[in-house]
Amino acid sequence: MSDPVWTYTFLCVSAFFAGAMNSIAGGGTLLTFPALTGVVSPAIANATSTVALLPGSFAGALGYRDELAPSRRFVLRMLAPSLLGGLLGAWLVGRDTETFKTLVPWLILTAAVLFVVQAPLARWLKAHRPDHVPGPLTQAGLIGFQFLIAVYGGYFGAGIGILMLTTLGFMGVGDIHRMNAVKTFLAAMINGASVIVFVRDNLVNWEYAAAMAGAAVLGGYLGARVARRLPAAHVRYAVIAIGFGLSAYYFIREYA
């Protein structure tokens, strides 16, 4: 490895906490993407971050296997829009990397805002979760919304967990733990689809991705295992502060 050891250490630490955050509440990309932009271009940082966090997403889904089992049929229904949207979003990144670079401050700001509203949204969904199965038209609309979430996820990724929790709440999937399980699995599917395109477009720095992937797996699995017992409020506040701080930094760098 030609880079200093501290560079890989910094990237791996960010990947570990990102994997844990994705399992607990989402928002892990807010940690790995900025870390990577210090050493590679934004488009490559986005793709490399997605590849590095993908094993952690699968590990998180494995950690939620008990909660995921009862929602098997629902997951299968949402699989196609998740995969197709992820492919399309990643394809858009490869078509114009300069546009992606310009949009970075807005994408990070969007992700930070979504992270802020996640907790009150989760409380609202818990209180208003439907006790009946939505009708066919409602289900079709929510599946379409999942496709749009997946397009955004393939393009950038941060915040898709919060958006999916909204859909899952209206679908009456179950309690917050089952919703979190389904969200984690579908996020892994979206990221998996986008990785196919990123690899084809040669946007991945494999040295960094390989070093970060192991840390993300460990963080993702441990995060899922402790999510039901860990008070995540202080971690959430830290990620929110990081998100808005990074958004301000990228706005200044891009437009000042």
What pLDDT does residue 170 have?
Answer: 65
pLDDT for 205-241, tens place per residue?
Answer: 999 999 999 898 888 777 766 655 655 566 567 667 7
146-166 per-position pLDDT tens digit = 898 899 888 887 767 767 776
The pLDDT, as a whole number, for residue 25 is 60
Neighbouring CB atoms inside 10 A of 208's CB total 27
pLDDT of residue 176: 65
Classify 229 as helix, strand or coil.
Answer: coil
- Residue 217, both tokens: 């797996």
| Low-confidence spans in the chain with pLDDT less than 70 | 1-3, 23-26, 115, 118-119, 121-122, 125-135, 138, 159, 162, 166, 169-176, 224-236, 238-239, 242, 256
Nearest to 116 by CA among 24, 250, 26, 50: 26
- Burial (CB < 10 A; 0-12, 13-18, 19+), residue 48, is buried
pLDDT computed for residue 255 by the predictor: 77
pLDDT at 1 (0 to 100):
47
What phi, psi does 173 have (nearest 5°)?
-65, -40
- Amino acid 178: pLDDT: 77
Global pTM?
0.74
- Cα dihedral 87/148/93/182 (nearest 10): -60
